[in-house]
Amino acid sequence: MIKKQTAKILAFRYKILALILVILAGGLVLLPKYQKNEGIKPEQLLANAISLERYIATDQIAHKLINQDPSFILVDVREEASFKKYSLPNAINIPLKKILDAESGAFLNQNQFDVVFFSNDNFEADQAWMLCNRLDYKNLRVLKGGINSWFKTIINPPKPTEDMPEEAHNLYTARKAASMFFGVAYPDQVQTDPLEKTQTAPKQIITVKKKKKAAEGGC
């Protein structure tokens, strides 16, 4: 009798459990669906967009290029025609139109290298950065001021006047050296003949000394 009673209760319990399961599963079907965003949330994107961390100065890029730093790739987001006319050394060309293509993804969506976007100024590069950041790609940077700034600061640095502080002069020297690395010639840095003449004279003396030394060694 008691057994039958428990069996009944058990059966009732199972029915309740089955009902709960059906209600929960049905709830999933009936719940209003919402579109889920791929990538990061709008709040996060805004926080990233406000932050100036993404900008990298032309001086830093010049330093990295001169030291042959292998940790970054330069991505030119301008049109192909402009890229062919002039671009930074070792840059690859991914025009803004093609930024979402599958083949671009291989360069942009990786965490091996820093990706540095640049365009003529930083507007297009910022757009590219925004798209890629939205897709949650990592290690994205933007060249501050783009190629215009590159020309103004590295290729053709403004010469400081004499009353400017020492830092300005040091910066000018560094930038001048960098621009020489990238192929700019300065008249005052071109070596002249008199230097060579002074070099040849001591060489002759050395050869004479060497002969004497050879004789001494024989003894």
Residues found near another protein in the complex (CB under 8 A): 14, 18, 21-22, 24-29, 31
Which CB, 31 or 102, lies closer to another protein? 31
The structure tokens listed for 43 are 């709040």
Min. distance of Cβ 158 from another protein in angstroms?
Answer: 46
CA-CA distance, 212 to 105, in Å (whole number)?
69
Min. distance of Cβ 30 from another protein in angstroms?
Answer: 9
Which CB, 7 or 66, lies closer to another protein? 7
Min. distance of Cβ 20 from another protein in angstroms?
Answer: 10
CA-CA distance, 219 to 78, in Å (whole number)?
74
Residue 109 contacts residue 137 (beta carbons within 8 Å): yes
Min. distance of Cβ 46 from another protein in angstroms?
Answer: 18
In Å, what is the CA distance from 31 to each residue of 25, 123, 201? Answer: 10, 42, 94
Min. distance of Cβ 9 from another protein in angstroms?
Answer: 15
Which CB, 21 or 66, lies closer to another protein? 21
Which CB, 32 or 70, lies closer to another protein? 32
Which CB, 47 or 66, lies closer to another protein? 47
Largest Cα separation within the chain, whole Å, is 128
Q: Which helix (H) or strand (E) holds 118?
A: strand 114-118
Q: What is the dihedral angle through the alpha carbons of 118, 173, 156, 139, rounded to the nearest 10 degrees?
A: 0
